[in-house]
Amino acid sequence: MVYLNRIYTKTGDTGETSLGDGRRVRKTDPRIIAYGTVDELNSSLGVALCASPSTEITSMLTLIQNDLFDVGADLCVPESETPLAYTPLRVTADQVEQLESWIDRANTRLEPLTSFILPGGTPASAQLHVSRTICRRAEIEVLRLMEVESINTQILIYLNRLSDLLFVLARSANDEGKGDVLWVPGANRKKLD
């Protein structure tokens, strides 16, 4: 249970913060950067929700925001051979499978792509594309962390599937892909008037 009665603690004033196991690390630590980027992704989904997507997309994003707190909690407590006094929260394969199910369901309503698409269209679609790119960056930060520490691999899989889902949902928010903005290769090579 979380209990916050005071927002500032002054314990981070020297550039350090605490992990979930109590260990102090620099705020530039790869683990902090990874779960900070996940937090940024979660905030961007909040903006996407404010763009009034469909009820179905709103329902998914609300559940995903909760999952992203699970991702952050998982990243916050390093894996260890030493038993902790509690069982840390870890992302599971079931959470990944839920994303895959949503991707499959949403994708059945979309025409196959014959061109890459540009981020845009409706406000909801554009913001979902922003969230997708932040998700890709979060995945990269988790990969960087994996180069130096062991982490739950379900985190990486979850973020990879989530970026795919956000792409499909961005298309869905563009009138089931009918409002997608298509890339025209080389369209601006000639001088415009």
- State pTM to two decimals: 0.90
| Mean pLDDT over the full length of the chain | 91
pLDDT of residue 192: 65
Per residue in 51-72, pLDDT tens?
Answer: 988 999 999 999 999 999 999 9
Whether residue 167 contacts residue 132, with contact meaning beta carbons closer than 8 Å, is answered with: yes
pLDDT of residue 11: 66
Per residue in 129-185, pLDDT tens?
Answer: 999 999 999 999 999 999 999 999 999 999 999 999 999 999 999 999 999 999 999
Distance separating alpha carbons of residues 51 and 128, to the nearest angstrom: 10
Distance separating alpha carbons of residues 51 and 34, to the nearest angstrom: 26
Categorize the per-residue pLDDT at 3 as very low, low, confident or very high, splitting at 50, 70 and 90: low
Per residue in 36-49, pLDDT tens?
Answer: 999 999 999 999 99
Half-sphere exposure of 141 (CA within 13 A, CB side): 24
pLDDT of residue 1: 60
* Residue closest to 162 by CA, chosen among 114, 116, 98: 98
pLDDT at 5 over 80: no
Cα distances (Å, whole numbers) of residue 15 to 32, 34, 43:
11, 16, 23
Select the more confidently predicted residue: 192 or 25: 25
Burial-class residue 73 by CB neighbours within 10 Å (0-12, 13-18, 19+): middle
Distance separating alpha carbons of residues 32 and 44, to the nearest angstrom: 18
For residue 117, what are the β-bridge partners?
Answer: 182
Going along the chain from its start, the domains and CATH numbers come out as 28-76+91-107+117-176 (1.20.1200.10)
